[in-house]
Structure formats: structure tokens, C-alpha cells
Structure 1
Amino acid sequence: MNLCILGAGAWGTAMAIYLTKRGHVVTLCPRRMDHALELSSERKNLDYLPQVEFPSDLQIGREVGPALMEADYVFFACPSHALRTTSETAAVHLSTSPRLKGALALCKGLEPKTNKYAHEVMSEALGDVKCGYLTGPSHALELAEGKPAAMCLAINSPEDQTKVLQEAISSSTLRIYRSEDQIGAAIGGTLKNVYAIAVGISDGLCLGDNARAALITRCLNEMIELGVHLGGKKDTFIGLSGVGDLIATCAGEWSRNRTFGQAIASGKTASEIIEAQNTVVEGYWATECFYEKSAKSGATAPVLDQVHRILYQGSDPRAAVIELMARDLKAEG
């Protein structure tokens, strides 16, 4: 297949390296021209994934139009807040991209202010192009290094076309499962970032392994309840795009959202942390989006509510722990 990846952060770069090694014709297209020139000359991504050299046949695109011209699928690896702009840029070139069958979001977040899911944003920009997700537990460096992983492919293409794509992406190091639940895949992949912040706060406060285990368990329960309430399917949340991604993001030392939570626990403010780094913490923006979605739908999400209070209202993390522990007792479930 001919594949185009728009966005050259760690995850977009890792996916480009993996798919090239899988035998596909891949063009990695950064947002900035100077970054494209650097990638072309260095043959590695010094800013986001310096440990792995590019395969010799990985192409670097300097413009979106030529990168899309022969593409069968386009992968959006930009931050969620930039997805609409990036999709609209791609849409300009649809008339000269006759082979394009679909678009997959690699980002895990909602659009700020509109609170729309990634597949909704892409569909609005790309019209009749089939849209969906490639999501699940996904540490960029491990994928690029060829370590074993499994992910979920959720796209609204005809089943036979989805199976062809599933087979094309799968390999001896990456197993792909299909799903028709785009909403569930979107929710699981985004909410896990919020809960990773919560776990990071717990770890930063040195609350211990018992607290961490209890918190992750209740976060999963909350993800399922809120996700089903918002239109996802329960089975999705006990799969790779739900509990799988939750475990990886809450436990991984590499997790931006978990380390963000740890920094919050140390006394830093969200704005201080965000201004000091060049990578996106999707969970920060997702917290506000899902807080608004939850409130509007009438759902109950106590962990989400407390993370929102800490990040957006300046609440003391230790006070949040006390409030969660003091909630009315109930049966588990």
C-alpha cells in the first residue's frame, strides 16, 4: 500500500518507521518545512524519536499535496487540537488523490470547544472519505524498535476493505484487531489520558501500590460507565482501546500524562508544566472536554470530576483524595 502520515511527532514517526519496514510505500510529512529538511538530512527524528534511524526507503514529504497524491490511506498523527486544520489542508488535495480509501486518526483526544471526536472532525473536513482510528496501547519507541504490540482498527469502511487494511498493517510484531465501534474507540483512547493524570498524581503523592491498583480499577469502571452512557459499547472498553491503553498509559514511565500528573502533585500548575515542554499532554485538554460532555449528559464520573477540579479550579490533590475516599459506600460495579 501507499501510505501518508501527516505529523512527525514521536508516534507519527514510529508508525512511519514500522509501516515502511512492513513493506509499504510510506511518506512522513511534518508540519514545518524546516523539520522536513532536518528529517531528510539526519534520517532520524532528533526532536521526538532520536533513538531510531529511518529505513532507507522511508520518504519525507515537504508538501501535503504530493504526499497524498498516490496514497491509499492517510494517517493523522497531529495533536487533537490541530486535527481540523490538518484535515482541511488534506481536503484541498482530495481531487488529486483518486486512490484515497480512508483516513485514520493516531491522535487520542477530542476537539477543544466543540468536544467532537476525531472521526467526526475528519468526516466534516474530508466528506465521503471513510474515517476511523488505529488505537490501543502504543509506546512509540517500542513500536519503532519492533517490539510486540497489539492495536485496534475502528473505521467505517466496508468489512472486506477493513480486512484488507487489517492484514496490511498487521505483522509478526503488531497484531491488529477490528472494531465497528468508532465512538468507543475514541472515548477509550482519550479518557485513559485523563486517568493516567490521576494515577500520576497518586504516584506523585506517594500514596502507594494499593492506592494505585484501586484507582486504576475504579477508573476502568468509570470509563465503562461513562463510555456506554455516551454511546460506546462495553466490549470496546474491556479491549485494547480501553483497558489495554489504560494499563499502558498509567503504568508506563514514558507516559506524558502520568508524568504530568506527577508534576501536578509536586505543586506545579498545569500552565507552568505545559509552557515548559514541547510535547502535547492530551489528557489536560481531554479533561475539560469530557467534563463538559459528562455534565451535559447527566453522567456520574467522580474521578474525572476531581481531576478537572485539580487542573482547572486549582483544587488541592490531597483534598481530592479525601473526597473520593469519603463518597457514599455502595456495591461494587
Structure 2
Amino acid sequence: MGPTRRCIAAWGLMFAAMLPVAAQAQQKKVVIYTSNESTLNDLVFAAFTKETGIAVEPVVAGSGVVIRRLQAEKERPLGDIVWGISRSLLQTNKALFAPYASKNKDAIPVEYRDPADLWIGNNLHLLVILQNTKILPADQGPKGWNDLLDPKWKGKIAFTDPANSGSAYTTVTMLVDLWGGGDAGWKKVGQLFRNLKVLNRSSLVFQGVGNGEYPLGISLEYAGPMWAAGGAPVKTIYPADGTLATMEGVAIIRNGPDPEEARAFVDFVNRKDVREMILKATFRRPTRTDLDLATLPGGLPPIGSLKMLSYNEDAWTDKRKETLEKIKDLLQESR
């Protein structure tokens, strides 16, 4: 064999040897089922891929839809991570998750993580009312939940279908308790439903308020400062009659195809510098206790300055199925 052919053959062998390595590198990915909107997804996924080289394949849907998909796939999971769903949904579906003790767990209070490390909290969301002050002047909006029962708001309050949203389910059940519990509480919730415009996804609520399609929306805290920072005339109302801080978190799907990459994402998304990045860009209140909100953007008030309601999350989680049926019936009656 001449020198040229030997050179070509050597290069061929080197290229062939490199192929498995290149193929393996290309296969590093993580499939994430997320209920977060694109602003947060794009920010975090891009930063994660840049740092780790792991590509993210997102599947975006409301939290209820995400959970139903996980349940349908439980014998052969196609995803690796579920991210951005409520503690109630995480807790009631923990049989679908694999245990993992995140490197950042000690910075997060025990009430925001599963004792067996099947899920861990990322964000705390306060339930708030959003107001578009261009179409409804700032001083003419509601002060609290009870004000939303006024018939003048019929069709003017955007809300997410509780079947598709863990936070919407929490809002409804919180209001049942606030308004007396039992039949009395459900009667007032039925009054509220007559004023609501029920939408399929949480993002449609704050988009609708921010764009001026609806004067009011029942939503989560971060949406107000996020839209206001973008120039929208959105005011965040912390209800005078009280609110809750609800948690959402992340979990690794049991028997998912990419467990190593899934663990890397769980560690990444709760790291202190990543939480600061998320707060600065999207105004999500972290579960971590070592971030000083007073020095970070958003002007989020300390929880201690607000009226916070008690809420038996475990009890409402245990009867979630029958409660969703009752909510569905009440919504149909209110149409």
C-alpha cells in the first residue's frame, strides 16, 4: 500500500473510532414534561444545555394534562422529568417518580420536599388577582376575593380550568374554606364561577390580562411583575382577605430513558445562582431560604407582611378526584 493510501486508511480508522463517541455525545438529552410557559422554559433550558451539553426536549402542557400523560405512559415512560406542577399533584402521583436526593436539598425547608426525595420544590407561588389598569383604573379594582362575587364582573375574570391546573385547584379549595367550608363555601364558589371566563392554561390568564382582553385574572404572583416589567399596565393585588403560598416542584420520572441527565437537571434547577437568574428574569419566588428578596428585582413583599390563610393541603389532596368532579359540575351549571 502506498503512502497516500496508508494515510487515507489511517484517517478512515480514526474517523470510524470517533463515530461512537460523537454518536454518544449527540444522544445526551433529557425529555422534560413542563407546565411552565415559554419565558421560563427557554431561559432555563438554554442555560442548562450551555453548561452541561445536555439537549432538552420539552413537552409543554398544563399540569393536569402532564400528569394524565405520565399516568398513561407509566409502563413505558417517554419522559425523564416533570417540572412546574403543584405539591398536591406531585404528592398524589409520587408512585410515578424515582427517588433522588438533590445536591441542593439542604437549602430548601423540609416542608417543600418529599421525605423520600421523590420530589423537591422550586418555586413558591402566592395566589393573587391581576388587574389591567388601562381598561380598569387602579382604584376601581377589587381589594380581595369577596369582591369578585359582584355580578358586575361577570365574564371579566380570567381563570384556569382546575382540571388542568394545580394552582387553580388550590385556589378553588382555598376559597371554599375561606367562605365557610361545606355547603356555604361551595355556594359562594358557585357564585364566583358565574363571573369567570375559564381558560385551558394558566398562561392564557395572565396573557389575557396583560394584553387587555380581560380586566381581571386570578393567577400566580410572578405574572404581575413579569408583565409590568415588560411595560404592560398590570397591577398585582394581594387579597386583603388572605392568600396562600403554594409550592411547585420537579421530579424524576421512574424508569425514564435518561436518568443521569434527569438528575443533572434537578441539581441545576435548584442551585442558588440559577434561582437568582430565574427570579431576576421571571420573578418567581424561590423555595430556597438563602436569597434576599429585598436586593433582587420584582419588589416581592415578604410573606410576613401579608395575610396568609391556613389550608389543609393533605385533606384536599386526598379528595382531589371527587372535588374535581364537583368543580366540573359547578362550572357547567354556571355557564
TM interval, short-chain normalised = under 0.3
Query: Which structure has the larger Rg?
Result: 2
Q: Structure with the greater relative contact order (CA < 8 A, sep ≥ 6): 1 or 2?
A: 2
Structure with the bigger percentage of strand: 2
Structure with the bigger percentage of helix: 1
Q: What TM-score does the superposition give when structure 2 sets the normalisation length?
A: 0.25
